[in-house]
Amino acid sequence: PMGSERTEMRKRQMPTTQETPGAAQAQHSTANRGSNACCFCWCCCCSCSCLTVRNQDEERARRTSHELQAEGIPNCEESPAPTLEEVNAWAQSFDKLMLTPAGRNAFREFLRTEFSEENMLFWMACEELKQESNKSVIEEKARLIYEDYISILSPKEVSLDSRVREVINRNMLEPSQHTFDDAQLQIYTLMHRDSYPRFMNSAIYKDLLQSLSEKPIEA
């Protein structure tokens, strides 16, 4: 009788002791998924926070260099609408185009279509630097120009030869209004020889010329 009682008690205890490890393991797994879903989520559910972060990182990686360059670009210069005479003058020389804000704005619009607007932005930044007289302001603007357009790490880096880069690096030891003069001239020449002829044959220029030609002359 005593043996049968012990056997019966053992049978009653066995289900409890056998189920405990499995239940604990299941609870531990569930707790992991609930408390830190972004690390242990096996179902790739859309609510998992790690997927949101990963998707954002992938989206940043897919952004084109042009989109990066477009960030922080200043607005076009304020200027009155160009006249037909002014637009015709742009075809006479690149200098006449660059002398007027309206001409620079139209040329910038064209450069943007060729993903080379940084050339105009660099040239304009150099012109602005030349107007400064305060030493601390000159140093700060020179540093920003270097970081934005000269540094090889910048998405807006302009194309300069090694000689000009060496000149800039020497000039940056003591920046002045003329730190980038050689580089500015090189970029100006590049725009003149390379981009300006295409601008004159572009739809941007031709459409502007046509719209002004068809505009009725005011009395």
Query: Per-residue pLDDT tens for 27-53?
Result: 544 444 444 444 434 344 444 444 443
Helices marked H in 146-190 — which ranges? 162-171, 181-190
State residue 8's pLDDT score. Answer: 56
Closest CA to 121 of 140, 144, 139: 144
Question: What residues contact residue 123 under an 8 Å CB cut-off, 6+ apart?
Answer: 184, 187, 188, 191
Closest CA to 118 of 86, 150, 79: 150
C-alpha triplet 162, 168, 170: angle, nearest 5°: 105
State residue 185's pLDDT score. Answer: 98
Q: What is the pLDDT of residues 54-102, one digit of tens each?
A: 444 444 434 433 343 334 445 678 878 999 999 999 999 999 999 999 9
Q: What is the pTM of this model?
A: 0.65
Domains of the chain (ranges; CATH) run: 84-214 (1.10.167.10)
Distance between CA atoms of 18 and 154, rounded to whole angstroms?
A: 65
Structure tokens at 32: 């992991």
State residue 63's pLDDT score. Answer: 40
State residue 166's pLDDT score. Answer: 97
Expressed in angstroms, the distance from the first to the final Cα of the chain is 127
